[in-house]
């Protein structure tokens, strides 16, 4: 290990996964924490608390060699930056759902203001040798803000959502500003080659007028940057272990008992219109119509913890799902069977991995997703001797890697219904074969590979 590996890493994201006694962090938090523990470092972001006055100074707690530094935001700033421009403009455009855009000039101002607040509060905590890694669409202007505050450290940016093609991007009021801000980073990472290609097309436009050098190096006004693909992965061993251990949990055993021998189809998604939940319920209804025998053998359990409550589109999707699941249940339910178990709440990580292991099929059918970690976790949680199968939307980043899943178009009800039927009736030999090849990919592109490759790219930019 070279000395450079000991350089402190500073990670910035909208929220910080605070250490909790007994808490098991999931997905992204596992990767970020792994990198922080290896290098020693700091995780900086919003505390989740709101203030009446101006943003608070950072509150810092230390656990081992990791510091957690959080600030509280003024309610209006938060509303405009997070619920507003980030989630009513950037989120829908990055997911190609332009009808969901709700743009207000004040929100854009709030977005810029909060990024400037982040830079000011962070600056006093930075050391000259720090490596800085910024996460996601909430914080695109952060490097530009830090640069104008005189920070010269290497700064990387990873986008967790898809990067839209230029034709979609230019629907964003302020896209010129965002593209120019991206040029202040030294390394920019995307999940897929498609996202990278979209970014390259956008910076080729006169707004930036980039020049392409070799090995993903791009010459932009004011310097050079590296833009590359870093598909996020999971901690395969951790998921396997949790799934095995969870077999002993009463919560998992009771759930299995309640199925009465039926095959479990499972969906787990934040309650978000990008996850294709209404389309999924309608495809499941199509399955029950088209394959009446399925009525006797399957149950769909959809776990959908609410997010971004208070944003109109999220309240609407919740109502739509309640109506759709209620209608389908009313249409098909029997005295001893309900077709859809719809849970509008989260489940702890360990029992969740246990549910995955006991499910025959995962329905992962977003209408667009940067990667989708649920698909990866489901595969890793399976019993190698009798693995379940994933029905996976072609419009997720995960579909680029998990090509042995049953790939479907989430907008085509018949395609999804047929995909579920194929997955349920797949022979054990074929399931095992597909499982082995998907597991090999999960191990190759795991969470350690993701963060190590990104941090190495940042170190090379000295």
Q: Are 193 and 221 within 8 A, CB to CB?
A: no
User: Under the criterion CB under 6 A, does residue 346 sit at the interface with ligand GDG?
Assistant: yes
Residue 29 Cβ vs ligand GDG, minimum distance, rounded to whole Å: 9
Residues 263-302 vs ligand GDG: string with x where CB under 6 A? Answer: -----x-x--------------------------------
Residue closer to ligand GDG by CB (options 147, 376) is 376
Considering only residues 188, 361, 371, 420, which one is a binding residue for ligand GDG as defined by CB under 6 A? 371
Task: Determine the size of the site formed for ligand GDG (CB under 6 A).
Answer: 22
Give the integer Cα–Cα distance in Å for 5 and 91: 34
- Map the footprint of ligand GDG across residues 122-161, applying CB under 6 A: 160-161
User: Under the criterion CB under 6 A, does residue 370 sit at the interface with ligand GDG?
Assistant: yes
Residue closer to ligand GDG by CB (options 216, 400) is 400
Tokens of 107: 């929100």
Residue closer to ligand GDG by CB (options 226, 301) is 301
Residue closer to ligand GDG by CB (options 252, 374) is 374
User: Under the criterion CB under 6 A, does residue 31 sit at the interface with ligand GDG?
Assistant: no
Q: Which of 49, 7, 38 is nearest to 448 (CA)?
A: 38
Would residue 276 be called left, alpha or beta, if left means φ above 0 and alpha means ψ between -120 and 50 degrees? left
Which residues, 6+ apart, have CB-to-CB distance to 367 below 8 Å?
Answer: 95, 97, 273, 274, 275, 276, 279, 393, 395, 410, 411
Considering only residues 39, 349, 413, 434, which one is a binding residue for ligand GDG as defined by CB under 6 A? 349
Residue 164 in 3-state DSSP? coil
User: Under the criterion CB under 6 A, does residue 26 sit at the interface with ligand GDG?
Assistant: yes
Enter the DSSP assignment of 192: S
Give the integer Cα–Cα distance in Å for 108 and 77: 10
User: Under the criterion CB under 6 A, does residue 374 sit at the interface with ligand GDG?
Assistant: yes
Give the integer Cα–Cα distance in Å for 308 and 75: 15
Give the integer Cα–Cα distance in Å for 210 and 313: 36
Query: Phi first, then psi: what are they for 214, rounded to 5°?
Result: -85, 165
Give the integer Cα–Cα distance in Å for 287 and 289: 5
Q: How far is CA 276 from the centre of its chain?
A: 15
Q: Residue 59 forms beta bridges with which residues?
A: 70
Binding piece for ligand GDG, criterion CB under 6 A, among 119-127, 282-290, 364-372, 383-391: 364-372
Q: What is the largest CA-CA distance in the chain?
A: 69
Q: How many CA atoms lie within 13 A of 304 on its CB side?
A: 32
Considering only residues 32, 232, 288, 416, which one is a binding residue for ligand GDG as defined by CB under 6 A? 232
Residues 158-187 vs ligand GDG: string with x where CB under 6 A? Answer: --xx--------------------------
Binding piece for ligand GDG, criterion CB under 6 A, among 60-68, 308-316, 345-353, 451-459: 345-353
Binding piece for ligand GDG, criterion CB under 6 A, among 53-61, 181-189, 346-354, 452-460: 346-354
Active site residues: 160, 369
Binding piece for ligand GDG, criterion CB under 6 A, among 42-50, 64-72, 243-251, 363-371: 363-371
Q: For residues 117, 118, 123 and 128, what is the CA-based torsion angle, rounded to 10 degrees?
A: -150
User: Under the criterion CB under 6 A, does residue 373 sit at the interface with ligand GDG?
Assistant: yes
Considering only residues 321, 352, 362, 399, which one is a binding residue for ligand GDG as defined by CB under 6 A? 352
Residue closer to ligand GDG by CB (options 33, 126) is 33
User: Under the criterion CB under 6 A, does residue 372 sit at the interface with ligand GDG?
Assistant: yes
Q: How far is CA 42 from CA 15, 149, 182, 230, 441, in A?
A: 13, 20, 23, 22, 30
Residue 349 Cβ vs ligand GDG, minimum distance, rounded to whole Å: 4
DSSP codes of every residue in 206-218: TTT--EE-STTEE
Give the integer Cα–Cα distance in Å for 279 and 320: 11
Binding piece for ligand GDG, criterion CB under 6 A, among 23-31, 49-57, 196-204, 238-246: 23-31
Residue closer to ligand GDG by CB (options 186, 272) is 272
- Map the footprint of ligand GDG across residues 50-79, applying CB under 6 A: none
User: Under the criterion CB under 6 A, does residue 399 sit at the interface with ligand GDG?
Assistant: no
User: Under the criterion CB under 6 A, does residue 27 sit at the interface with ligand GDG?
Assistant: yes
Residue 396 Cβ vs ligand GDG, minimum distance, rounded to whole Å: 7
List strand residue ranges (DSSP E) for 308-457, in order.
340-343, 361-364, 389-393, 406-408
Give the integer Cα–Cα distance in Å for 364 and 276: 9
Q: Which residues bind ligand GDG (CB under 6 A)?
A: 26-28, 160-161, 232, 268, 270, 303, 305, 346-349, 352, 369-374, 377
């Amino acid at each position: 290990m070279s000395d450079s590996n000991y350089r402190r890493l500073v990670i910035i994201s909208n929220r910080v996964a605070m250490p909790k006694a007994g808490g098991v962090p999931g997905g992204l938090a596992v990767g970020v924490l792994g990198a922080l523990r290896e290098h020693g470092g700091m995780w900086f972001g919003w505390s989740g608390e709101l203030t009446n006055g101006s943003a608070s100074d950072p509150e810092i707690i230390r656990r081992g060699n990791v510091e957690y530094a959080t600030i509280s935001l003024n309610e209006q700033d938060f509303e405009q930056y997070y619920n507003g421009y980030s989630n009513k403009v950037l989120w829908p455009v990055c997911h190609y759902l332009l009808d969901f855009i709700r743009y207000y000039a004040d929100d854009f101002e709030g977005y810029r203001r909060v990024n400037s607040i982040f830079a000011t509060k962070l600056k006093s905590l930075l050391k000259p040798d720090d490596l800085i890694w910024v996460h996601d669409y909430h914080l695109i202007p952060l490097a530009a803000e830090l640069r104008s505050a005189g920070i010269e450290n290497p700064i990387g940016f990873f986008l967790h959502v898809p990067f839209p093609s230029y034709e979609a991007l230019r629907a964003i009021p302020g896209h010129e500003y965002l593209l120019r801000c991206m040029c202040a980073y030294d390394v920019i990472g995307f999940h897929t080659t498609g996202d990278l290609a979209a970014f390259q097309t956008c910076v080729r436009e006169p707004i930036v007028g980039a020049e392409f050098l070799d090995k993903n190096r791009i010459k932009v006004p004011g310097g050079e940057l590296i833009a590359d693909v870093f598909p996020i992965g999971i901690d395969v061993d951790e998921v396997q272990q949790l799934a095995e251990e969870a077999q002993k949990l009463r919560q998992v055993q009771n759930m299995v008992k309640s199925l009465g021998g039926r095959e479990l189809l499972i969906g787990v998604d934040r309650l978000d219109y990008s996850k294709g939940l209404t389309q999924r319920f309608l495809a499941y209804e199509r399955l029950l119509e088209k394959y009446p025998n399925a009525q006797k053998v399957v149950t769909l359990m959809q776990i959908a913890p609410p997010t971004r409550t208070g944003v109109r589109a999220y309240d609407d999707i919740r109502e739509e799902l309640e109506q759709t699941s209620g209608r389908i249940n009313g249409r098909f339910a029997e005295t001893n069977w309900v077709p859809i178990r719809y849970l509008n709440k989260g489940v702890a990580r360990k029992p969740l991995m246990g549910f995955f292991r006991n499910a025959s099929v995962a329905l992962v059918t977003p209408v667009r997703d940067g990667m989708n970690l649920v698909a990866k976790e489901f595969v890793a949680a399976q019993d190698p001797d009798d693995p379940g199968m994933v029905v996976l939307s072609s419009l997720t980043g995960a579909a680029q890697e998990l090509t042995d899943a049953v790939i479907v178009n989430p907008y085509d009800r018949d395609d999804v219904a047929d995909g579920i039927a194929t997955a349920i009736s797949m022979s054990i030999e074929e399931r095992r074969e597909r499982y082995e090849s998907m597991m090999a990919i999960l191990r190759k592109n795991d969470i350690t590979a993701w963060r190590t490759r990104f941090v190495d790219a940042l170190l090379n930019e000295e």
